Amino acid sequence: MFAIRIHETGGVEKLRVDDVPVPVPGAGEIRFRVEAAGLNFIDTYKRSGLYAVKLPHTVGQEAAGVVTAVGAEVTDFRVGDRVASAAVNGGYAQEALVAAGQAVKIPDGVTAKLAAATMLQGMTAHYLACDTFPLKAGDTAVVHAGAGGVGLLLIQIAKLRGARVLATVGTDDKAKLAREAGADAVCVYTRENFTDAAKALTDGRGVDVVYDGIGKDTFEGSLNSLRPRGMMVSFGNASGPVAPFAPLLLAQKGSLFCTRPVLAHYTQNPTELRARATNLFSWMAKGALKVRIGAEFPLAKAADSHRALEGRLTTGKVLLLP
């Protein structure tokens, strides 16, 4: 089978199409035929070397498809089941492995493409809005990259929970998408100051929480957008990692809270994972959560998809199709 691998870290040119053996599932694992793989910033972090991986490395941790083999001790899945996961071992491939405890069954009415588009970014949006800072009616949140995959889902979940949302985007076209997702206000950061917009929306007080997947470029402005004792949720590094800072800075800006969560710590067991997936799939089935697939690339063109993502040329979810 073919897979997209890196043998050394660096730019998109390091992504190679390799012919590799079909993987054999070990104890507790399942193998599935990949019908769609999700593109995520974490894929670019591993490719670039920001996140260390053992080389050679098959890229991709989010995918959906059909089970083709099960390992010993697997009782929840059988060959032919439709499955999805955000913890796949090598999702940019024709077949991939995943621990059974990190997979969910795809319900009827949800396509493999929609499932692949939901697992990592949907789960991320879910834990951010429901657990990291559990939004409630009356809260106000800033959602950076509001037209991105996580952003569009996070806006919708925030609105389901009764919160107000200020979305930040880079273009007017992206602003339209954020408004359609339910954002109460939108700031086009290329010509407006999002901190000023956050203060204006809250009559000068500051927002309750900032969900920031951008990182280096927005960190200080995000802190300045918060009310006293507000929470900074830094969950990504799209512009690069945040520079080290002294905790005293949080005191100076209003006794702020700051956290750097990752999905793995919010899906630590099958019960928690499947409860989140059930929520997401249920909202999707009822039409309360709309997943936007912004682009599809052939798997062999993975390098082009990485260029588009890193160039901020994408909206919604980007899928790779074997």
Q: What is the pLDDT of residue 109?
A: 87
Which residues, including other chains, have CB under 8 Å from residue 118's CB and lie 6 or more apart?
84, 153, 280, 281, 284, 291, 317
Please answer whether residues 72 and 86 qualify as being in contact, where contact means their C-beta atoms are separated by less than 8 angstroms.
Answer: no
Residue linked to tokens 């070397």: 49
Q: Using only the alpha carbons of the chain, give its radius of gyration.
A: 19
CA 197 to chain centre: 25
Residues of the chain with CATH 3.40.50.720: 137-260
**Phi, psi of 34, rounded to the nearest 5 degrees:** -75, 120
Please answer whether residues 64 and 291 qualify as being in contact, where contact means their C-beta atoms are separated by less than 8 angstroms.
Answer: no
CB under 8 Å, gap of 24 or more: what pairs does 238-241 form?
Answer: 238/41, 238/145, 238/213, 238/214, 238/312, 239/214, 239/215, 240/215, 240/216, 241/50, 241/215, 241/216
Per-residue pLDDT of the chain (322 residues), as tens digits, is: 999 999 999 999 999 999 999 999 999 999 999 999 999 999 999 999 999 999 999 999 999 999 999 999 999 999 999 999 999 999 999 999 999 999 999 999 899 999 999 999 999 999 999 999 999 999 999 999 999 999 999 999 999 999 999 999 999 999 999 999 999 999 999 999 999 999 999 999 999 999 999 999 999 999 999 999 999 999 998 899 999 999 999 999 999 999 999 999 999 999 999 999 999 999 998 999 999 999 999 999 999 999 999 998 888 899 999 9
Q: Coil, helix or strand for 230?
A: strand
The hierarchical CATH code for the domain 2-119+282-321 is 3.90.180.10
b or e along 258-268 (b: 16 or more beta carbons within 10 Å of the residue's beta carbon)? beebebeebbe
Q: What is the pLDDT of residue 312?
A: 85
Residues of the chain with CATH 3.90.180.10: 2-119+282-321
Rounded Cα distance between 84 and 76, Å, is: 13
Q: Which of 3.40.50.970, 3.40.50.720, 3.40.50.1820, 3.30.360.10 is the CATH number of 137-260?
A: 3.40.50.720
Token reading at 76: 């929840």
Kindly tell me the sign of the dihedral angle through the C-alpha atoms of 82, 88, 89, 94: positive
